[in-house]
C-alpha cells in the first residue's frame, strides 16, 4: 500500500505525541531532593503545634518547629538539647518550687513570612510561646503546664521555667521538648500571620519552612537554609494526603511517593518489604489499646462481673488483628516501653496477668446473679482499630453469655458519646508520652469526663509526681497500674506499632526505634540517594 | 428567553433557602461536637469550651441560624470550623478540579457513548449489539473505586504511563492533563455505559418512527437519515441525561477523587462531614444548590436550540 507524504507526516506527528504522552515514568520521577510522604488522611487538621493532634499534623509541625530540648531522633526515651545550649539541672527554690534555667542558643533563625522577616529567636519568643501553650484558650495542652511560670533569666539568653513542686526530669522534659506544647512559636511570625490563619500557615524555626497548603492534596515545605543545625540535605518535603491504603501503595510503586503511611498489619508490611526497592519500617511508639470498666455502672459495679469479663478476654485475639511485630501485647494501661508500665513478668509477679478462662468467667457471672448473662450497649467508632477491637470483645463476651449491642458511629461522635458515660466498657486507643499523663487523664479525678472507669489512683500518681528518683517513680507508677488491674478497672490489651514504607533510596538519617511524633522523623539529616 | 432565565433564578431563591435551612438543621442533629473533632481527644474541657465560645457554637440554634443567614445574604459563606479560613476560599480552590474532572468525564461519555449507542441500535440483535450491551452493563456494574484502582495498577504502577495520584497545577496544562487521564477514564467509563444504553434505547424508538421511515422512503442515504433525522430527535432526552449526569458527577465523583488523591468538592464535603465542620458543609451545599440551578438553566437553553417545539413555544 502506497503512503503519501502527507500521511507520512501525520504518522510522524501522531507518533511524536504518543511518545511524549506515554514516555516514561521518568517524567513522574521524584523531583530532585524533595521527599514526598503520603499520609493516611484527606487533609490537615490544625497546624498550630499547640493544637496539632492528628498524626499528619504532628508530622508536619515536627518538621517546622523546635523545642528547647528534643527527643533524640528515632528514639522516644532519650532527650538532648535543641534550641537550648544544654539540658540544665533543676534547682529547688526556698519557697519549695523548682526552677530550670535554659540558655537559648544564639543565631537560631526563624522562618520568614509575609509581615515578619527571618530573625533571631529570642527569650521573648520563648516567653510568648510557653505562655500560649499554658493557656487553655490558645492551647490544647494547657493542662500539662498547670501552675508553671515562665520568665527571662538574669543572664544573657536565659529562660527560666518554674514548676510549683519539684518534679523529675522524666516528667519535666517532655513538656519542653519537640512535642505538643513544647514546640516554640516565634511571636512576630505568629502575630504577622494571625492566630486563625496560623492554623493552616505555621511558621517556626525548624529544618523545613511552610510554603503552601493545597487543600486535600498536600502541604509543601522547603528547606530552611539558615537552620541552626545546618542546611537540610533535602530540598523540601511534600506531605501528601491519600486516605486510601491501596492507592498509596500503588502510587508508591508508580514513583509518585517516596514514603507512605502503611497499614497496621504485619502481613501487609512484610509483603511491601519483599518488593524490590522498598523497605517497610515497623517502629514505636505504639498506640495503646485498652479497656476502661465503669465501676459505677449498674451491673459492672459488682467486682465479680468485672472479674468475669477479665476472664473472658485473651490478648492473643487482639494482637492477631495486626499480627506481630506490628501488634504487641501490653500488660497494663501504661505500656512497658514507658517507665511505669508493666512487663509480662511484672504482671505475673503481681498476680494481675489474667488469662482467658471461659468456664471460670461463667461461674463468676452465675455467682454474681447472672447465670444467663446480660446485655450491654456499646458505642463503637467506625475507625478500623476501634471497630475491630469492639467486635473481638463482643465475640469474647458472647462466649460467657453477655450480649454486646454495638452501635457504630463516626469517630468524633464516639468521642462525644463516651464522654457522656454511654459505655459501661470503653475502648480507648491512644499514645501519651508519660505514665503520669495516662494516669491523670484516665484514672484520676483530674481526668474529668475521660475518667471513664471512675476508678482513681490519685494518691499513687501524686506520690510519683513528687518522686525525683526515676526508679522509685517508675515503681510508684507500676503500683498504680497494678491497683487498676486488681480492681478490674482497666485492662491493657495491645499496642500497635507504626508502619511506614519507603523507597530504599530514602535515608532518614537516624535509627528508627520509636518516634513520639507518629511518623519516621524527617529532619536536616534525611536524604535521598 | 431572558425572562425565562430570570424567572428560574427567582424561583431558585426559595429553593436555596430551603436547602440551607434543612442542611443547617440536619448537620446539627447528628450527635458529635465539632470542637472535639477539631481539637482532638487530648484537649481539656476548658479548651473545648473556649473554642466553642470563639466559634459561636455556644450560641442558641436560632442565633447561629440568624447569623448564618445574615452572612449568606452578604455573600459570606462563613469560616471553616477546622482551618478557620473562609469556606469560599477552600471551595474556590477545589471547585475547578471537580469541574475539570466532570467535564472530561462527560466529554468521554458523549464521545464514546453516543456512537456506541447509535451503532448498537442500528445493528440491533447482532454481535456488535450484544457486545456493546454486555460491556455497558459491566461498566454500570463495576464500582468506580475498583475501576480506578485497576487503571492505577495497570497504567501507573506497572506501565508507568501516567501519574497515579494527585491533581496537576492549572499553570502547567501538560502535567494537569496527564494527571487527569486516569480519573477521567474511571469516571467516564461509568457514564459512558449509561450514555450508550440511553442512546441505544432512544435510537431504537426513533428508528421506528414514521418520519424516519419517510426519510428512507424519500431515498436519503442512511448516514443522512441517522444524522439529520434520527440522532437529532434522539438528542433531546440525551441532553436531559447529560444535565442529570453533570449534577451527579459534581457530587458523585467522591470515590474517584479519593482513590486518585484529587481535591474536589465531593471529597471536601465528605471530609467536612466527618470533621463536623458545620460551616463548610453548609457552604458546599449552597454551592451545590447553585450549580444545580445553573446547570438546569443551561439545559433549558440547549433544549430551545435542539427542540423546535420548545423554541417555537
Q: Is A93 exposed, middle or buried (0-12, 13-18, 19+ CB in 10 A)?
A: exposed
Distance CA B104, CA A491 (A): 54
Cell of A398: 458472647
Contact B38 A448 (CB under 8 A): no
Q: Does pLDDT of A500 surpass 50? A: yes
φ/ψ (deg, to 5) at A409 = -130, 175
φ/ψ (deg, to 5) at A61 = -65, -30
Measured between CA atoms, the residue of chain B closest to residue A449 is B45
3-state SS assignment for residue A26 = helix
Distance CA B234, CA A201 (A): 53
pLDDT tens-digit readout, B162-201: 999 888 778 888 888 999 999 999 988 888 888 898 889 8
Contact B85 A413 (CB under 8 A): no
Distance CA A284, CA A337 (A): 9
For B90, half-sphere exposure in the C-beta direction (CA atoms, 13 angstrom radius) is 34
Which residues, 6+ apart, have CB-to-CB distance to A273 below 8 Å? A279, A280, A501
- Predicted TM-score (pTM) of this structure: 0.84
Contact A254 B156 (CB under 8 A): yes
pLDDT of A239 reads: 96
Is the Cβ–Cβ distance between A397 and A312 less than 8 Å?
A: yes
Is the Cβ–Cβ distance between B274 and B32 less than 8 Å?
A: no
Residue B260 at interface with chain A, using a CB cutoff of 8 Å: yes
Instruction: Please list every residue in chain A whose beta carbon sits closer than 8 Å to the beta carbon of residue B178.
Output: 21, 27
Does the CA dihedral A158-A162-A166-A170 come out positive or negative? negative
Contact B82 A247 (CB under 8 A): no
Q: What is the ipTM of this complex?
A: 0.79
**CA B38 centroid distance within chain:** 29
**A101 bridge partner residues:** A160
pLDDT tens-digit readout, B74-130: 989 998 888 888 999 989 988 999 889 989 998 998 999 999 998 998 888 899 999
Distance CA A486, CA A473 (A): 20
**Alpha helices (H) in chain B, listed in sequence order:** 2-29, 34-39, 45-54, 61-73, 87-122, 127-141, 144-151, 173-207, 210-217, 222-224, 231-252, 254-259, 265-274, 278-306, 308-312
Task: Count A/B contacts: CB-CB distance under 8 Å.
Answer: 168
Distance CA B271, CA B265 (A): 10
Q: Does pLDDT of B238 surpass 90? A: no
Which residues, 6+ apart, have CB-to-CB distance to A194 below 8 Å? none
Instruction: Please list every residue in chain B whose beta carbon sits closer than 8 Å to the beta carbon of residue A452.
Output: none
Contact B54 A250 (CB under 8 A): no
The vertex-B293 CA angle with B291 and B294, nearest 5°, equals 65
The residue ranking higher by pLDDT, A108 or A446, is: A108
Calculate how close chain A gets to B181, using CA atoms only, in Å.
11
Contact A140 B42 (CB under 8 A): yes
Which residues, 6+ apart, have CB-to-CB distance to A262 below 8 Å? A245, A268, A269, A272, A280, A498, A499, A500, A501
pLDDT tens-digit readout, A248-303: 999 999 999 999 999 999 999 999 999 999 999 999 988 999 999 999 999 999 99
Is the Cβ–Cβ distance between A463 and A436 less than 8 Å?
A: no
Of B84, B164, B274, the CB nearest to A199: B84
Q: What is the mean pLDDT of chain B?
A: 86
Q: How many C-beta atoms lie closer than 10 Å to residue B255's C-beta?
A: 20
Of A137, A246, A430, the CB nearest to B149: A246
Residue B268 at interface with chain A, using a CB cutoff of 8 Å: yes
Instruction: Please list every residue in chain A whose beta carbon sits closer than 8 Å to the beta carbon of residue B46.
Output: 136, 142-143
Q: What is the DSSP letter of B40?
A: -
Domains contained in chain A, CATH given: 285-497 (3.10.105.10)
3-state SS assignment for residue A308 = helix
Residue B31 at interface with chain A, using a CB cutoff of 8 Å: yes
Which residues, 6+ apart, have CB-to-CB distance to A309 below 8 Å? A293, A300, A361, A397, A400, A402, A425, A488
pLDDT tens-digit readout, A340-364: 999 999 999 999 999 999 999 999 9
Of B163, B270, B271, the CB nearest to A28: B163
**What architecture does CATH give domain B90-312?**
Orthogonal Bundle (1.10)
User: Closest Cα to residue A76, out of A280, A325, A284?
Assistant: A284
Residue B38 at interface with chain A, using a CB cutoff of 8 Å: yes
Q: Looking at chain B, which residues constitute the CATH 1.10.3720.10 domain(s)?
A: 90-312
Q: Does pLDDT of A162 surpass 60? A: yes
pLDDT of A179 reads: 94
**CA B159 centroid distance within chain:** 30
Is the Cβ–Cβ distance between A51 and B42 less than 8 Å?
A: no
Contact B263 A51 (CB under 8 A): no
Amino acid at each position: 500500500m502506497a503512503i503519501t507524504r502527507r500521511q507520512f507526516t501525520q504518522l510522524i506527528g501522531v507518533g511524536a505525541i504518543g511518545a511524549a504522552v506515554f514516555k516514561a515514568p521518568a517524567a513522574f520521577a521524584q523531583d530532585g531532593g524533595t521527599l514526598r510522604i503520603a499520609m493516611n488522611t484527606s487533609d490537615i487538621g490544625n497546624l498550630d503545634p499547640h493544637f496539632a493532634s492528628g498524626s499528619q499534623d504532628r508530622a508536619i509541625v515536627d518538621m517546622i518547629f523546635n523545642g528547647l530540648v528534643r527527643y533524640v531522633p528515632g528514639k522516644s526515651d532519650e532527650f538532648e538539647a535543641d534550641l537550648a545550649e544544654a539540658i540544665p539541672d533543676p534547682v529547688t527554690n526556698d519557697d519549695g518550687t523548682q526552677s530550670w534555667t535554659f540558655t537559648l542558643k544564639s543565631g537560631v533563625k526563624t522562618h520568614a513570612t509575609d509581615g515578619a522577616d527571618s530573625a533571631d529567636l529570642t527569650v521573648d519568643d520563648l516567653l510568648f510561646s510557653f505562655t500560649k501553650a499554658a493557656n487553655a484558650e490558645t492551647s490544647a495542652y494547657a493542662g500539662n503546664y498547670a501552675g508553671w511560670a515562665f520568665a527571662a533569666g538574669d543572664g544573657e539568653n536565659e529562660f527560666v521555667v518554674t514548676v510549683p513542686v519539684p518534679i523529675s526530669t522524666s516528667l519535666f522534659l517532655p513538656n519542653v521538648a519537640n512535642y505538643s506544647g513544647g514546640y516554640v512559636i516565634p511571636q512576630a511570625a505568629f502575630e504577622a500571620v494571625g492566630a486563625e490563619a496560623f492554623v493552616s500557615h505555621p511558621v517556626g524555626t525548624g529544618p523545613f519552612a511552610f510554603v503552601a497548603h493545597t487543600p486535600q492534596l498536600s502541604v509543601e515545605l522547603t528547606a530552611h537554609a539558615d537552620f541552626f543545625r545546618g542546611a537540610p540535605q533535602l530540598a523540601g518535603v511534600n506531605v501528601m494526603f491519600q486516605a486510601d491504603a491501596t492507592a498509596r501503595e500503588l502510587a508508591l510503586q508508580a514513583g509518585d511517593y517516596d514514603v507512605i503511611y502503611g497499614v497496621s498489619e504485619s502481613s501487609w508490611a512484610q509483603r511491601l518489604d519483599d518488593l524490590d526497592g522498598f523497605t517497610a519500617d515497623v517502629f514505636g511508639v505504639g498506640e495503646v489499646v485498652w479497656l476502661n470498666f465503669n465501676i459505677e455502672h449498674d451491673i459492672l459495679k459488682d467486682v465479680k462481673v468485672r472479674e468475669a469479663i477479665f476472664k473472658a478476654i485473651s490478648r492473643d485475639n487482639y494482637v492477631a488483628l495486626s499480627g506481630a511485630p506490628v501488634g504487641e501485647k501490653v500488660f497494663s494501661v501504661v505500656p512497658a516501653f514507658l517507665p511505669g508500665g508493666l512487663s509480662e513478668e511484672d504482671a505475673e509477679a503481681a498476680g494481675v496477668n489474667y488469662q482467658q478462662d471461659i468456664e471460670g468467667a461463667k461461674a463468676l457471672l452465675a455467682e454474681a446473679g447472672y447465670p444467663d448473662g446480660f446485655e450491654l450497649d456499646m458505642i463503637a467508632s467506625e475507625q478500623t482499630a476501634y471497630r475491630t477491637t469492639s467486635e473481638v470483645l463482643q465475640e469474647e463476651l458472647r462466649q460467657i453469655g453477655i450480649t454486646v449491642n454495638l452501635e457504630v458511629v463516626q469517630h468524633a461522635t464516639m468521642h462525644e458519646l463516651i464522654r457522656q458515660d454511654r459505655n459501661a466498657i470503653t475502648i480507648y486507643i491512644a499514645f501519651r508520652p508519660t505514665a503520669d499523663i495516662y494516669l491523670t487523664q484516665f484514672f484520676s479525678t483530674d481526668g474529668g469526663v475521660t475518667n471513664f472507669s471512675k476508678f482513681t489512683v490519685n494518691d499513687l500518681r501524686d506520690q510519683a509526681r513528687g518522686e525525683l528518683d526515676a526508679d522509685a517513680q517508675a515503681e510508684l507508677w507500676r503500683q498504680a497500674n497494678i491497683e487498676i488491674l486488681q480492681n478490674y478497672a482497666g485492662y491493657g490489651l495491645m499496642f500497635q506499632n507504626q508502619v511506614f514504607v519507603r523507597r530504599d533510596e530514602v535515608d532518614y538519617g537516624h535509627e528508627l526505634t520509636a518516634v513520639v511524633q507518629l511518623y519516621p522523623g524527617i529532619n536536616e539529616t534525611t536524604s535521598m540517594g | 428567553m431572558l425572562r425565562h432565565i430570570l424567572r428560574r433564578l427567582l424561583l431558585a431563591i426559595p429553593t436555596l433557602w430551603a436547602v440551607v435551612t434543612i442542611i443547617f438543621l440536619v448537620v446539627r442533629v447528628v450527635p458529635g461536637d465539632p470542637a472535639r473533632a477539631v481539637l482532638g481527644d487530648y484537649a481539656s474541657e476548658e479548651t473545648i469550651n473556649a473554642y466553642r465560645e470563639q466559634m459561636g457554637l455556644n450560641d442558641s440554634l436560632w442565633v447561629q441560624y440568624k447569623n448564618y443567614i445574615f452572612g449568606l445574604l452578604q455573600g459570606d459563606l462563613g469560616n471553616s470550623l477546622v482551618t478557620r479560613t473562609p469556606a469560599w476560599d477552600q471551595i474556590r480552590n477545589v471547585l475547578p478540579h471537580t469541574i475539570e474532572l466532570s467535564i472530561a468525564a462527560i466529554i468521554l461519555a458523549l464521545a464514546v457513548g453516543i456512537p456506541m449507542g447509535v451503532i448498537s441500535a442500528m445493528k440491533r440483535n447482532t454481535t456488535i449489539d450484544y457486545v456493546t450491551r454486555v460491556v455497558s452493563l459491566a461498566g454500570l456494574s463495576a464500582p468506580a473505586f475498583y475501576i480506578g484502582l485497576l487503571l492505577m495498577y495497570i497504567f501507573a504502577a506497572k506501565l508507568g504511563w501516567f501519574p497515579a495520584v494527585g491533581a496537576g497545577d492549572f499553570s502547567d496544562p501538560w502535567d494537569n492533563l496527564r494527571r487527569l487521564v486516569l480519573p477521567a477514564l474511571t469516571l467516564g467509563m461509568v457514564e459512558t455505559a449509561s450514555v450508550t444504553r440511553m442512546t441505544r434505547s432512544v435510537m431504537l424508538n426513533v428508528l421506528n418512527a414514521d418520519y424516519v421511515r419517510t426519510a428512507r422512503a424519500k431515498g436519503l442515504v442512511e448516514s443522512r437519515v441517522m444524522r439529520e433525522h434520527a440522532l437529532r430527535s434522539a438528542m433531546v432526552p440525551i441532553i436531559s441525561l447529560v444535565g442529570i449526569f453533570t449534577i451527579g458527577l459534581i457530587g458523585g465523583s467522591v470515590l474517584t477523587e479519593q482513590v486518585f488523591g484529587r481535591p474536589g468538592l465531593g471529597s471536601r464535603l465528605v471530609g467536612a462531614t466527618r470533621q463536623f465542620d458545620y460551616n463548610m458543609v453548609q457552604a458546599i451545599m449552597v454551592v451545590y444548590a447553585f450549580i444545580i440551578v445553573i446547570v438546569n438553566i443551561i439545559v433549558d437553553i440547549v433544549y430551545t436550540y435542539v427542540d423546535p417545539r420548545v423554541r417555537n413555544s
